[in-house]
Amino acid sequence: MTGKEVREKFLKFFKGAPRSHVEISPAPLVLENDPTTLFTSSGMQPLVLFLMGESHPNGKRLVDSQPSLRTTDIDEVGDNRHLTFLEMLGNWSLGDYFKKEQLPWFYEFLTKELELDKEKIWVSVFEGNEQVPRDEESAEIWRSLGITEERIHYYGVEKNWWSRSGTPEQMPVGEIGGPDSEVFYDFGKELGLHDVFLDRGNPCHPNCECGRFLEIGNSVFMQYKKVGDGKLEELPQRNVDFGGGLERLTAATINNPDVFATDLFKGLIELVGKNTHKDYDSNMSDFRVIADHVRAAVFLADLGITPSNKEHGYVLRRLIRRACVKLRQLKGNLNNNDFSDLVGETYKIFSGVYLNSGVKNTLTIIEEEVDKFIKTLDRGLKELGKLEQIDARVAFNLYQSYGFPLEITKELAEEKGQKLDLEKFKKEFDKHKDLSRTTSAGVFKGGLADHSPEVVKLHTATHLLLTSLREVLGEHVVQKGQNITKERSRFDFPNPEKLTDDQLQKVENFINGIINKDLPIKFEVMPKDQALATGAIHAFNEKYTDTVKIYYVGEELDDAISREFCGGPHVTHTGEIGSVKIKKQEKIGSGIIRLYIILNNSEFIS
């Protein structure tokens, strides 16, 4: 089947009686009024409020197809299943039907509408933990539908729990989530590396990475909200949030686990072959990256986003430049109009469904960026040309300072008969690399486990503490450890000796001085390199995403009294903190001092 057919069948199936869902239009790929995330990355994101209990103008049963962008998986693109831009088919029960309708309906859709082979359908359910029971109800429903015991698997929170921020433990207070039941399609033992995996003594199962199975749909039973103390509380209503990737469902209908073999990508892959005179089978990963990234870039440029060093524009820049690197490798050179026919083809594939602006605007945006990149390449190549020896450090510095691609440095080193130590590069890279596994990268993950007013105030106070310590003791003070509870903030930093009473008093006065000025706390989101250049403080033992948030205290970032890499949240003005007291000091190891601060003379509990 074609992607279009699958999309249409899905919408029609859920709209039809007795399911009677109302189709809602997809939300924009960039959500307005949602500062927590850069892109719409799942169907549930625009519906969060309704999952939490607000009533939706279109009722309790909704169906949609939501274009989504996930930068989390960008390094995975190149295999046969991961994408940055994808379309999520979704059906929604907002406090209406639940498991016993959802699972049979989806099964009926797969087997009757898409005519998938029943015997190839495997499922997973939540195995349970201290707070949420084992999902025997779903397992029982699957059994009643004829799924044999061998094809029903139980997994824990890592696999069968869904929230925007991961496992229950990773969810910040206020976030919603729930156990889920996934469906996998079995493409056959002979596929992928199944035997190799078996040889290594790993029995194959649906979440095994051998390539035999592909997840094609996920029914989330969105039922819980995270409250304080790590607990989960039942939401006022039980919801179903179903999401299935259109590309993967279409791949299942052609019995090929390669989403790039579907009609949604076929034209793009063929064009890459035509333009580079290379064949797909020997260059699969590069072909796929180009096709995926151009498609995603078209969707962003179509919204009027232009490449830049900030937020959405930065992601667009990264997509275009990665596609450039791959194309240049295949083709041997790069021209600004190299992507023109791929852009045209993307418009053709989605004509009448999503893309709004003209292909002409999008082409201009992409061509201009390719031009800029060609110039960066020329500059970097010149720099490299001057060097006798190209090693991992040079490669990393070029990458870090100019975004100069490793692949190209490697190529040049090889031309000089030198070999880059990729392990060493990776080590440097990992030190700085994307950590966040959530879609919107660090922007969504605040980092604080508890967003209570006390914790938020103490969080800001801790930034002021660090600034004050650096002011009083010197710039050797960096954050070595931090832990905040409602009662106090605990902060570790290097200093040869404990602070004298006089120093402690000075630090405390300095903090309260800033609080009394009632300065604003603001943040900016920017690419990491640019953020580093502002001199903002960051913890050296932490890894950061490519795009980071800097919180600063004062009117302007440039002359702020405190600037730190941080996910937030913070108070909006220092005055809200009231006052701070340093309550206790310890020396916890050679050269490490620990301080405890509390708010407004509150009771101290360490």
- Count of beta carbons in the 10 Å neighbourhood of residue 146: 12
What is the token pair recorded at 95?
């406090």
CB 147 to ligand SER: min, Å: 20
Taking CB under 6 A as the binding criterion, the range among 40-48, 378-386, 498-506, 521-529 that sits at the site for ligand SER is 40-48
Q: How far is the CB of 243 from ligand SER (least distance, A)?
A: 2
Among 42, 253, 489, 562, binds ligand SER (CB under 6 A): 42
Tell me how far apart the alpha carbons of residues 306 and 300 are, in angstroms, rounded to a whole number: 8
Phi/psi of residue 79, nearest 5 degrees: -85, -170
Question: Which tokens go with 558?
Answer: 């440039």
DSSP annotation of 77 reads B
Minimum gap (Å) between residue 401 Cβ and ligand SER: 36
Using CB under 6 A as the binding rule, whether residue 43 contacts ligand SER is answered as: yes
**How far apart (Å, rounded) are the C-alpha atoms in residues 45 and 591?**
46
Find the binder of ligand SER among 121, 220, 412, 511 (CB under 6 A).
220
Note whether 243 binds ligand SER by CB under 6 A. yes
Of 36-44, 101-109, 202-210, 495-503: span binding ligand SER (CB under 6 A): 36-44
Comparing CB distances to ligand SER, the nearer of 251 and 272 is: 251
Comparison of 74 and 268: residue with beta carbon closer to ligand SER: 74
- Residue 124 CA to residue 185 CA, distance in Å, equals 12
26 binds ligand SER (CB under 6 A): no
Q: Which of 90, 177, 380, 446 binds ligand SER (CB under 6 A)?
A: 90
* Dist CA 280 CA 227 (whole Å): 50
| Closest distance to ligand SER from the beta carbon of 244 (Å) | 8
Instruction: State in angstroms the smallest separation of the CB of 159 from ligand SER.
Output: 12
Give the nearest residue (CB) to ligand SER. 243
- Binding to ligand SER, residues 384-413 (CB under 6 A): none
> Measured from the CB atom, is 215 or 338 closer to ligand SER?
215
Listed residue (24, 1, 7) closest to 352, CA to CA: 7
Q: Which of residues 148-187 bind ligand SER (CB under 6 A)?
A: 162
Out of 44, 125, 291, 390, which residue is the one contacting ligand SER (CB under 6 A)? 44
Write out the binding residues for ligand SER, residues 340-379 only, by CB under 6 A.
none
Q: How far is the CB of 139 from ligand SER (least distance, A)?
A: 19
Of the candidates 528, 564, 531, the one whose C-alpha atom is nearest the C-alpha of residue 545 is 528
CA 314 → CA 41, 213, 302, 433, distances in Å?
17, 34, 15, 16
Q: What are the φ and ψ backbone dihedral angles of 483, each rounded to 5 degrees?
A: -150, 130
Cβ 241 to ligand SER shortest distance, Å: 5
Report the C-alpha gap between 555 and 402 in whole angstroms: 30
Whether residue 151 contacts residue 114, with contact meaning beta carbons closer than 8 Å, is answered with: no
Look up residue 511 and give its two tokens.
């903090």
Count of residues near ligand SER by CB under 6 A: 10
Contact string (CB under 6 A) for ligand SER, positions 274-293, x = contact:
--------------------
Please name which of 557, 550, 601 lies closest in space to residue 579, comparing C-alpha atoms: 601
Tell me the two tokens of residue 553: 């205290």
Q: At what angle do helices 284-302 and 340-349 cross, to 10 degrees?
A: 70
Query: Distance between CA atoms of 343 and 348, rounded to whole angstroms?
Result: 9
> Which residue among 127, 186, 241, 546 contacts ligand SER (CB under 6 A)?
241
Question: Which spans of this chain sit near ligand SER (rule: CB under 6 A)?
Answer: 42-44, 90, 162, 218, 220, 241-243
